[in-house]
Structure 1
Amino acid sequence: MEIVKRAIRLMHEGKCIYDQFQLDEDYNVPDAKEDVGNVIEGTVCVKTEDMKLVENYLKISGKALFKILYMTASLDPQPAVLEGKLPFEEMVYVEQPGEEEYFLKNLRTEFSVSMVHSRKLSLHQLTELEIGRTQMISEEVTEDVESEHAVYKKMKKFRLLGLSDTKKDTYRIKEEITLPGTKESISQILLSEVSGRKLELRPGTDEVTVRGELQVFCLYLSEESKADWVSQVIPYEGKLLCNGLTEGMFYSVEHTLEDTLVDIRMDEDGEMRILGIEGTLLLRMNFYEEQEMELLEDIYSLQEQCIPEKQETVFEELLMQNQSRYKLTERLSLPELKDDVLQVLCSRGEIQIEHTEYREEGIQIEGILHLNFLYLRGDDARPYGSWQGMIPFQHLIECSNLPENVRCTMSHHVDQIQVSMAGSEAVEVRAILAFDAFLRREVELQTIVSVMEKPLDLEQMDKRPGIVGHIVQEKEDLWELAKQYMTTVEGIMNVNELENENVKIGDKLLIFKENMSIL
């Protein structure tokens, strides 16, 4: 007897690993730079370059690229910028390491700068890492059996979720900004920030459409050495090749925007009025499709004993692919900034998840939005300031009748953020926080892995009565009765003149041994 099997690929996600490390360094101002009068703000971008497993530890190395905006200590203070990098190497303990693939799932940093004196700064950085671990596995289901003898098969329909393809790719973004006519030409870029917004992926035939926006802010010096800034949203769209994809597939995506660059370019008139914007979107994509199939649940034969060996295997059913958005509106009273803020120039936000709870009505998320904004002051000696703080939030990703045995892959990011003045001592924060959840239900199946064949005990068969009267008990069906009394479902239906296979508790049935004539 030959078993006909079918393989289903699954992406198994292990328990995430959390780590936190600090970097403390003294930074000497280069000779080519002017003395520091006061520090306005510091920003940092952490870039991991290598991640590999060394025994029970994950070795993560990379560098933190920082920029420090400050005012010079000259008689005519001017904004200036310092840049540098801090290399790091972190050993993260891993419980029960296996053949999984490890990747950086989420990263959050806090960076502060304080003056030791005009030529020396003290840098402090706190970095929190969330490391994901995945492993692609293949499980088999039994669809049929092929035998020389007549066999009777119990089949059941399932709709299972299978991994169609997994892909790691990069999408390179290259755009330009032309300065408005009211702005002066650019001489030097002081500070630039590029962040991703509203990313949308749409699977098509052998390709993925990538669509999103870049939020760009640039503080610069004009040719007259005057400070100015430009802030603009740039849409982008493109395609990535991915053979085997079809429209309508489900997907789970982890994405980060790295290697952002803002440079000065010349326009048609030879003036430096164009900003070139570049960035690399790193994508980890898993594509899934639902597969409808009939699987073999049980088997018997009237000519021989068939003893199936079963194995419990866990598969997945799709619950929901959800792109949930939480609109956060908060008025912050900031008396420390009284009469100090003329205009908010640039704002940033990072999400920190504190607690996740699975409830019957959905997934309850509690977290913090870490907020930072750069603003313009009314003091010519210190024209810029920076503020940072936190806003707690709660959000429910709705999914009615959420089962207990659920698997969830979730990513989060800030889709939009805007900070505006709300009086002399307050600001209003408006943000849209994005939570992309891919929910699956665990399905435990008893899969037939082999069938042992034995000759029938003819002596025992002869002792069985030729006719049996049976009253249907709880959880019994015609299949179980036919197998028990060595007959067929069709035979029971014909003798009892049943129109379908549905029977209920208390029904009285007459069951004949197969091949026995009553007339």
Structure 2
Amino acid sequence: MELKLNRETVPAAETIYDGVQEQALEMDYILPDYCPDIFRLIRCDTTPVITDWSISGDRLTYELMCDIHILYCGEEGSAVQSVDQHRSFTRTVELGRAADSPEVRLVPKTDHVNYRAVNKRRLDLRGAVSVKISVTGQQEQEVISDAFGMNIQLKKAPVKFAAQRINAVKNVRIEEDMELTPAQPDISSVLSCRCRAGDCEIKLISGKLLAKGEVQTELLYSGSEGAVEHMSFSLSYSQIIDVEGIDDSFECAVIPEVVSCNVTAAADGDGNNRILRCETEIRLGCRAVKTSTAMIAEDAFSTVYPCNVEMSEIKAEQIPSVYDESFRHSARLAEGDAVPQTIYAMWSEPKNINTRIGDDGRSVVISGMLSYSMAAKDNAGMIVMPDRDEAFEETIGLPDDISGAYVSAEVSVKETAYDISAEGVLNARADITVKLSVYSSDSIKAVTNIVIDDSAKKERDGDYAIKLYFGIENENVWDIAKRYSTSVEAIMEENELSGERLENGGMLLIPIVS
């Protein structure tokens, strides 16, 4: 009887490219005639964002846009002025080889920025941004799932893997006009705008995804009397995403990212600047994965013939386990005369986030910096917007053992608040949300081919039907069966064993099968 092999294809994610690309950022800017001279620089913010990307063969091309926002005070008064500029770059990355069903992750961040006033009308900026680039593809691995004939024995194990994945992207523009309340002063100029996309609610409807969510917006503007005003509001969206081939057998997630957020002042019916015109663009990235389970062979032997078993280590792509966690961070920012006279607004941003698995294997340690910023008036009556970096480390316990897994964390600040104690200490606190994605990194040795030599049979050390063997606790019955060229089923039946590992050590009867 010939040996017949059944094979199974197990897809696995393979890393095509993992690296960081840097981009220099320079600006030499002369103020237009309608802007007042520079008296004092207050703040500079640079926000890099990926606006588009594409892959052609073994080359990745992406568009990087950097928003530059500089605030200063003019000589003629304390009113805050703003300078907004954009720098766009087209970059390419040689991946080394083409990727099958590629998934691309591009994470830009500002590395450093130095800015100065060359004179009263000229600004000079030098800095750098970087983009962390990760490209993964799918690699098909063919393994043995079953075998028949020639007294073959297989040790099988179930493997769960991502059998199919679908990616889709949709850009959405949200446009809305908002009117100030009667208690708020007219808008002199918009100083800064920060947007954060919250979690997305999704629903599958007739092969399409309905995505609903909100974009939280925080705004600073200069009022008619020169004071800085703070506003926060949310913009809602509801979009249908076409995802070809999707059905309810897929697990889906939609990640919203803010591409741009622009707020300008507009006049109302009386000609006063009391309308905020909001234009926001977000990118909805959809990832849908269908899982499957297959029985694959981990080991093999023939009870009669010598055979050669070819093995390979496979790592099946897994759907990550996602945990939503939160914690609070507190910081002592100033005391005594260093506390500003007036605080208009305070906010915070996480940066330089690192994650590692705790020593107990059931927790994740998240560390990084939390940058607290405020818009305030100091004791000299000047508008200031200082930053204060505070280190943090938080341990988050998880219900499962994640030893050997890969963990990624998306950290964001939900809310920042502050208070000034009776002793004159300025304290801040930030409510931080964390989305942990835990990717199982378990790999398995799988049989990829079996070759049997049927020209000769195995030689035995004697002519017997049963052999005595002293087993040890927790020993695998498969190892015993392979050593004596018999079957697991025969050993378990002869010794009335309930499992494939020995519960206790002791004497076993090893029946010899042919």
TM-score w.r.t. structure 2 length?
A: 0.78
What's the CA shift for 1:36? 2.9
- Aligned position for 1:359: 358
What is the correspondence of 1:487-506 to structure 2 with a 5 Å cutoff?
488-492=487-491, 503=502, 504-506=504-506
Does structure 1 residue 36 correspond to structure 2 residue 34? no
Residues 118, 497 of structure 1: CA spacing in aligned structure 2 closer, same or farther, 3 A cutoff? Answer: closer
- Aligned position for 1:214: 216
Secondary structure of the 2:441 match is strand
Does structure 1 residue 5 correspond to structure 2 residue 5? no
The one-letter code sitting in structure 2 at the alignment partner of 1:331 is R
- Aligned position for 2:178: 177
What is the correspondence of 1:257-272 to structure 2 with a 5 Å cutoff?
257-264=258-265
CA distance in 1, matches of 2:91, 2:159: 46
What is the correspondence of 1:111-260 to structure 2 with a 5 Å cutoff?
111=113, 113-121=115-123, 123-140=124-141, 142=143, 144-145=145-146, 147=148, 151-160=152-161, 164-184=165-185, 186=187, 189-196=189-196, 198-200=198-200, 202=202, 204=204, 206-207=208-209, 209-220=211-222, 229-234=229-234, 236-241=236-241, 242=243, 243-244=245-246, 246=248, 249=251, 256-260=257-261
CA distance in 2, matches of 1:440, 1:30: 52
What's the CA shift for 1:237? 4.5
What's the CA shift for 1:178? 2.7
CA contact 1:344–1:374 (8 Å) conserved in 2: yes
Residues 61, 398 of structure 1: CA spacing in aligned structure 2 closer, same or farther, 3 A cutoff? Answer: same
CA distance in 1, matches of 2:249, 2:71: 47
Q: Which runs of 5 or more structure 1 residues have no equivalent in the other structure?
A: 515-519
User: Bigger CA drift: 430-439 or 370-379?
Assistant: 370-379
Residues 493, 196 of structure 1: CA spacing in aligned structure 2 closer, same or farther, 3 A cutoff? Answer: closer
CA distance in 1, matches of 2:311, 2:467: 31
The one-letter code sitting in structure 1 at the alignment partner of 2:467 is G
What is the correspondence of 1:316-395 to structure 2 with a 5 Å cutoff?
320-334=321-335, 337=338, 340-345=340-345, 347-353=346-352, 356-361=355-360, 362-376=363-377, 384-395=383-394
CA distance in 2, matches of 1:65, 1:392: 26
- Aligned position for 2:71: 69
Residues 488, 67 of structure 1: CA spacing in aligned structure 2 closer, same or farther, 3 A cutoff? Answer: closer
Residues 395, 77 of structure 1: CA spacing in aligned structure 2 closer, same or farther, 3 A cutoff? Answer: closer
Secondary structure of the 2:385 match is strand
What's the CA shift for 1:165? 3.2
CA distance in 1, matches of 2:483, 2:28: 82
CA contact 1:190–1:221 (8 Å) conserved in 2: no
CA distance in 2, matches of 1:166, 1:143: 30
The size of the alignment, in residue pairs, is 499
Residues 164, 507 of structure 1: CA spacing in aligned structure 2 closer, same or farther, 3 A cutoff? Answer: farther
CA distance in 2, matches of 1:67, 1:501: 67
What's the CA shift for 1:155? 2.2
- Aligned position for 1:430: 429
* RMSD value, Cα: 4.4
What is the correspondence of 1:12-23 to structure 2 with a 5 Å cutoff?
12=15, 15-17=18-20, 19=22, 21=24, 23=26
The one-letter code sitting in structure 2 at the alignment partner of 1:366 is S
Q: Which runs of 5 or more structure 2 residues have no equivalent in the other structure?
A: none
The one-letter code sitting in structure 1 at the alignment partner of 2:193 is E
Residues 419, 111 of structure 1: CA spacing in aligned structure 2 closer, same or farther, 3 A cutoff? Answer: farther
TM-score w.r.t. structure 1 length?
A: 0.77
- Aligned position for 1:467: 465
Residues 91, 341 of structure 1: CA spacing in aligned structure 2 closer, same or farther, 3 A cutoff? Answer: farther
What's the CA shift for 1:373? 1.7
- Aligned position for 1:107: 109
CA distance in 2, matches of 1:507, 1:454: 33
Secondary structure of the 2:7 match is strand
What's the CA shift for 1:217? 0.7
What's the CA shift for 1:162? 6.0
What's the CA shift for 1:27? 2.9
